[in-house]
Amino acid sequence: MVGRQLLVAALTAATFLHGGICEHPPSLTHQNPYADAGRDPLADYMDLRDNVTEYMPERRRSPQPVSEWQNHAAILRRQAQAAGEGALLCPTGGWCGTSETHCIGPNKFSPCQEGFGKCSIIRPKTCGEGSGTTGGRTIGYYQASNVRDRVCNRIAPSQIKTAGYSHLYFAFASIDPASFAVIPAQAADEPLMREFTALKKSGLQTWIAVGGYDFSDKERSTHTTWHDLCASPAARAAFIASGKTFMDKYGFQGIDLDWEYPGDPKRGGSRADIANFVLLLKEMRASYGSQYGISLTLPPDIWYGQYFDAKGLEPYVDHFGFMSYDLHGSWDSDVKTLGAIIRGQADVREIYNNTIPLAYADLDFSKIVFGVAWYGRGYTVSDTTCNTLGCGFKGPSKPGKCTNQAGVMSLTEIQDLIKEKGLKPRLLEGAMMKELTWDDQWIGYDDYYLTEEMIELCEETVALKKKFANNYCFGGTMAWSVDFNSGTGDSNSAPVSTDG
């Protein structure tokens, strides 16, 4: 029977980074930073590019997708602590997987099931590309910090292009590490929040997102706040009550919990977080009832997903946000299992692999929203004669003129760059991404066309991914972040320096 028993005890009911892009660079995300190199990382990438079949069953080039290529890259190395039909299984060497290569029958050299019984392979169910399952929720995050930190193209809440969205999330509020009360991240955010919630109307809700990646940084006073909060009944009660007060004060209709990540000691957590997070959500729902919405974000990988009892959390949330982006970036060069090889930060083939643990956890996909990125990640290539997926890089791409962060460009910056330089984007059909190259620069991104009247999806990338999400029965989409593609804001030109 497919149920919570499907996952090994070490992974609980594991599921699956968003948060803070452009506010921070992720830290070795989506890979085990402690893993040995294993086999050649470039060979791993070629497996993905050349051997993974298309996600649609009618397009398969082999009987089953090679759905666990990341096992070669040591995305997770753990011994199985439990077994049984359908379990996520590991061989004695500790390599975990979800595909046929991890069953004793198909591969005698990888006896994952030896001594554990029958092997069962689980695939996400399909609803069809035209099912429209994502139509009910379209969520857009808004980075409040953009009005303070961005060089140009600053977007005030009143300038957000709201067409097509059912929910807007203000990112982020903070938590007082002493009282556990929800508080503004900055005093300057108070008028921004009121301007933001003034956008709500019939068919458009405004929610507050709490936490974010930076919140749990080791250098922050809030490094262990999520952990401490969930571990104490009194602290949980204080947080829940203050959340109500905060939402009522500023006019929010729901709260999104962005904990990155429970269970990870380097992020202020411990394994006790797995059960305690469920207790927090259970108590929140008991207190909030249907008056306030509740959501939380899930990372798209097993390494961090092991610390989420998503099946236990599922009854208490309106929906999960599946952060199907930031899979790769220039930080890959510091990860032995990856190396300095250009990979797409939102390659749908890898995203498909990462949906499989969701199916093993027996989650209801109608409660999961599929993430898309309104920004690109890029590299400075090692050799200008090799400037596509699988080529080498020597560092992040040059900063955009407004976001001013190496390795990242907003969609607005990318569209401006295409016009300024007369560049021609190329569709990477297998990855469902666009790539843009010039000089020694490479950017991978998703795009769509925006009109004043409505969001009109172009025939490539975002529309393709929405079809993908519909096919796998996802219950909506979410975008990080609306300030990356709501026009020029205050200006799309950086200030002219008058120094010297």
Q: How many residues does the chain have?
A: 500
Domain that holds residue 344: 133-484
Cα 356 from Cα 359, distance rounded (Å): 5
Query: Which amino acid, residue 224?
Result: T
3-state secondary structure (DSSP) of residue 244: helix
At 257, give phi and psi (nearest 5°): -95, 115
Asked whether residue 451 carries a pLDDT value surpassing 80, the answer given is no
- Residue 54 in any domain: the answer is no
Cα 71 from Cα 90, distance rounded (Å): 10
Strands (E), 29-69: none
Domain with 279 in it: what CATH number?
3.20.20.80
CA-to-CA dists, residue 105 to 85, 89, 116, 120, 122, angstroms: 14, 13, 13, 11, 16
- Residue 96 in any domain: the answer is no
- Residue 168 in any domain: the answer is yes
- Residue 146 in any domain: the answer is yes
CA-to-CA dists, residue 106 to 99, 103, 345, 489, angstroms: 10, 6, 31, 56
Asked whether residue 55 carries a pLDDT value surpassing 90, the answer given is no
Asked whether residue 45 carries a pLDDT value surpassing 90, the answer given is no
Q: What is the mean pLDDT of residues 88-97?
A: 44
- Residue 79 in any domain: the answer is no
Asked whether residue 61 carries a pLDDT value surpassing 60, the answer given is no
Q: What is the mean pLDDT of residues 20-48?
A: 42
Quick one: what percent of the chain has pLDDT higher than 70?
Answer: 72
Model confidence pLDDT, tens digit, residues 273-282? 999 999 999 9
Residue 300: the pLDDT is 87
Q: What is the pTM of this model?
A: 0.82
Cα 428 from Cα 451, distance rounded (Å): 25
Q: What mean pLDDT is reported for the chain?
A: 80
Beta carbons within 8 Å of 157's beta carbon, 6+ residues apart: 142, 170, 192, 195, 196, 198, 199
Looking at the 3D structure of the chain, how many domains does it have? Answer: 1
Residue 491: the pLDDT is 66
Closest CA to 213 of 261, 165, 179: 261
Model confidence pLDDT, tens digit, residues 426-449? 999 999 999 999 999 999 999 875
Asked whether residue 101 carries a pLDDT value surpassing 70, the answer given is no
Residue 361: the pLDDT is 86
3-class DSSP string for 113-170: CCCCCCCCCCCCCCCCCCCCHHHHCEEEEEECCHHHHCCCCCCCHHHCCCCCCCEEEE
Asked whether residue 37 carries a pLDDT value surpassing 80, the answer given is no
End-to-end CA distance of the chain: 72
- Residue 87 in any domain: the answer is no
Residue 41: the pLDDT is 54
Element (H, E) at 210: strand 205-211
Model confidence pLDDT, tens digit, residues 381-426? 999 999 999 999 999 999 999 999 999 999 999 999 999 999 999 9
Element (H, E) at 393: strand 393-396
Structural contact between residues 167 and 138, judged by C-beta atoms closer than 8 angstroms: yes
Model confidence pLDDT, tens digit, residues 313-363? 999 999 999 999 999 999 999 988 899 999 999 999 999 988 988 888 899
At 465, give phi and psi (nearest 5°): -70, -30
Closest CA to 436 of 427, 419, 400: 427
- Residue 118 in any domain: the answer is no
Model confidence band, residue 453 (pLDDT cutoffs 50, 70, 90): very low
Please tell me the least confidently modeled range out of 110-119, 121-130, 137-146: 110-119
Structural contact between residues 136 and 130, judged by C-beta atoms closer than 8 angstroms: no
- Residue 454 in any domain: the answer is yes
Residue 487: the pLDDT is 83
**Chain centroid to CA 447: how far?**
17
Residue 490: the pLDDT is 75
- Give the chain's count of helices (H) and strands (E): 11, 17
